[in-house]
Amino acid sequence: MTTDYDSLSPDRTTLSRLLGYMLGGDNRARSVLATAARVVAILGLSALPWITGQAMNVMNDPSGTTDELNRWMIAGLVAGVVYLVFSFLADRMFSRLATTALYRLQTKLFSHMQTLSMGFFFKNPVGQLTSRITNDSEVVALFYEQGVGPIIRAILQIFIILIVMLLINIPLTIAALIVIPFLIGSMYVVTRIAAPAFALLQERVGFVSGFQAETLDGHKVIISKKRQAWASQEHEELAGEVYEVGRRAFLASLMQFPLTQTLILIQTVFVLTAGTLMVIEGSTTLGVVMAFTGYATLMASPLGQMSNLVSNALNAIAGGERVFEVIDEQPTVTDASDAVEYEFKGGRIEFTDVDFSYVPGRRVLKDNTFTVEAGESVGICGPTGAGKSTLINLLTRYYDIDSGTILIDGQNIESLTQESLRRQIGVVLQEAYLFTDTVMNNLKYARDGATDEDAITAAMKANAHDFIMELPDGYDTMMTERGANLSQGQRQMITIARAMVADPKIMILDEATSNVDTRTEKLIQDGMRHLMDDKTSFSIAHRLATIRDSDDIMVLNGGEIVEYSPHDELMAAKGFYYALYMSQFKGKAPGGEAAADIDFVST
């Protein structure tokens, strides 16, 4: 897919990159059209004061006729209709541009996050990362929806009105412009106070929601009373800070409205004074003076809005910078200079003597050798820290191994491009990442060019269709912050449906259903079966019931594969797996789901 709306030239500013998503690429023609419609609308608007003034002149003129007056009234009507119709068209087109811009940015962000190493997530606590993505893409969304269009309108209006005024009467134009420097000056001062406060506010909000997300997600960790007290005190301090910063920001922005109103009044007084003198002198007509009071307002009002628009843009730049930080984060592993595309031939995977360590000298995986046949499903279990996630991340080549080889369909992964490899491997993690957007768009982010039908088909397969249809607006229901209006299980079903939209050839579920109740898990698994049917798949789970039906089960302990066989054989062998299984189902009928929530390892 072309991404010429965000070419990676290093000296592009955040603003121009943000705008690129909205106005660049195949949106270019539409943005030119939208701007043209806006120009026509403003021309219609700028004709109105002139027409009103001329009509007044006719009324003032003893020799003026009703015919003449009627002509001006019709002219006024036409100008008004042109203004309304073209404003509507321009608004519609800009809002379409805004929607595609946000869609492009979030798709890019999402697909890029898929390519980032676990190391990146390791450096960025999950809470902070999700809050970054939701809060920052929300301010960027606000900029696209309510910033770009109005800024273009304001700038065009200022210039067009200025030209019209200069064409009609230069001295009156000067009288009207005297206050402009003061208007800009006051705006500048207010923005200087408000904008930094807003930026700080946003950062603080990010902190707080990051903290909330973490303490909530980590609620299992914060169990001791002492930790609980610490968490709530910390939260109170953070929230207090947000209140203080927010107060400053809003106070500054409140000052601004009365200030601009006063200046606009002063401007009208200037125009009327200069105009009256010129009328008495006979160098202009009353109608022109009246027209100029109109122009002065038409000029000042976009200027007055400018400070809000500028602070909206500054906010978006601050948010955009953090979004681009994620987008620009480079994967830790680089492609070989002669890397070739991965060629899918069924998905057979072969690890031979694989050793791996994150930190030199501290081996996390030791001598791992195993083969997964094409289309086979493998369940992986083992204590926390055994190396399950690490093993899977090596397959997608998030890290290079110390020694050994990893072949996929006979091709050494070190000789493949990461992009071609990861495009074929879908990963669903424990934490569901949902954007503040509609269900439909959240599904479509998986693949550039995915259609509504693709999304709905995937949702049906994932067993998510029924509950989505029961949401207030079905597929058009907006997800609130991080999908908080859905249950965890529902969020995860959407994530899984999203993975299906991408239609990967190999699936990896890393504790994807760990936070979901067993009934929902069953529903998800029924859905997954469609997806996994003929695909090679890995499913890491700490509830053994989740992976019992896999073709093979791999038991990892201390970085080594201790067992690798189907469930029945492992049970018969009465080894490590058998012990884990029995400890999970202790006291329950074999195969019972009730006890399946118990972790086999207390962490």
Ligand X SMILES: Nc1ncnc2c1ncn2[C@@H]1O[C@H](COP(=O)(O)OP(=O)(O)O)[C@@H](O)[C@H]1O
Binding residues for ligand X, rule: CB under 6 A, are: 118-119, 122, 358, 364, 382, 384-390
577: tokens are 């797996």
Q: Which of 360, 365, 363 is nearest to 389 (CA)?
A: 365
Exposure on the CB side of residue 320, measured as CA atoms within 13 A: 25
Q: In a 10 Å sphere around its CB, with 0-12 CB exposed, 13-18 middle and 19+ buried, how is residue 279 labelled?
A: middle
**430 touches Mg ion (CB under 5 A):** no
Q: Which does 386 bind (CB under 5 to 8 A by kind): Mg ion, ligand X, none?
A: ligand X
- Smallest separation (angstroms) from Mg ion to the CB of 430: 8
Q: Which does 122 bind (CB under 5 to 8 A by kind): Mg ion, ligand X, none?
A: ligand X
Nearest CB to Mg ion, comparing residues 173 and 389: 389
Q: Which does 196 bind (CB under 5 to 8 A by kind): ligand X, Mg ion, none?
A: none
* CA distances, 407 to each of 237, 348, 350, 471, 553 (Å): 52, 8, 5, 44, 20
Nearest CB to ligand X, comparing residues 16 and 334: 334
How far apart CA 292 and CA 289 sit, in angstroms, is: 5
Residues recorded for the chain: 603
Q: Which of 370, 334, 407 is nearest to 553 (CA)?
A: 370
Q: Which does 459 bind (CB under 5 to 8 A by kind): ligand X, Mg ion, none?
A: none
Nearest CB to Mg ion, comparing residues 121 and 159: 121
- Smallest separation (angstroms) from ligand X to the CB of 519: 25
How far apart CA 137 and CA 442 sit, in angstroms, is: 13
Contact letters for Mg ion, residues 188-207 (x by CB under 5 A): --------------------
What DSSP character marks residue 450? -
- Smallest separation (angstroms) from ligand X to the CB of 381: 9
Residue of 157, 389, 441, 514 that binds Mg ion (CB under 5 A): 389
- Smallest separation (angstroms) from ligand X to the CB of 118: 6
269: tokens are 């007084």
- Smallest separation (angstroms) from ligand X to the CB of 603: 9
CB 275 within 8 A of CB 284: yes
Nearest CB to ligand X, comparing residues 306 and 547: 547
Name the residue with tokens 């909205």: 22
Nearest CB to Mg ion, comparing residues 312 and 390: 390
**396 touches Mg ion (CB under 5 A):** no
Residue 423 CA, distance from chain mean position: 21
Nearest CB to ligand X, comparing residues 175 and 540: 540
b/e 468-489 (16+ beta carbons within 10 angstroms → b): beebeeebebebebbbeebebb
Nearest CB to ligand X, comparing residues 388 and 465: 388
Nearest residue (beta carbon) to Mg ion: 389
Q: Which does 252 bind (CB under 5 to 8 A by kind): Mg ion, ligand X, none?
A: none
Nearest CB to ligand X, comparing residues 409 and 431: 431
Sheet holding 411-412, edge to edge: 362-372, 349-359, 403-408, 411-412
- Smallest separation (angstroms) from ligand X to the CB of 204: 28
Site residues for Mg ion per CB under 5 A = 389
